[in-house]
Amino acid sequence: MLTFVNVLFQDTIATAVFSLLFFIASCAWAAGLNDIKWWTTFSNVRNRFYSDVCTDGVAECTGENGGYAGLNVSIVSIWSLLMFV
């Protein structure tokens, strides 16, 4: 027979497991976001994919990095949801 203490203990364990899984998923998302930022910087794309074109002296390889504000907001919104749940 389930008692109040037994149900409370099971609820605590379930909450801890879900919180840990959410934390691990958020860390994986942040690591993926960091990889996306690294792979899409202008200097990295130029050096890895266009090095032969940019070093021949004919083509002018200039550019700038895009904005990552939307990606950063996705991380902040995940953590803010965790705080209010």
Query: pLDDT by residue (tens digit) across 42-84?
Result: 888 878 877 777 777 777 777 776 777 666 676 666 666 666 6
Stronger pLDDT, 64 or 39, i.e. the higher one: 39
In whole angstroms, give the CA distance from residue 30 to residue 55.
34
Q: How far apart are CA 65 and CA 41, in angstroms?
A: 5
Structure tokens at 1: 């027979």
- Give the model's pLDDT for residue 17: 95
- What pTM did the predictor assign? 0.60
Number of domains in the chain: 1
Domain enclosing residue 52, as ranges: 4-84
For residue 55, the model assigns a pLDDT of 73
What is the model's pLDDT at position 78?
65
Asked if 66 and 40 count as a contact pair (C-beta separation under 8 A), the reply is yes
Q: For residue 26, what pLDDT is reported?
A: 81
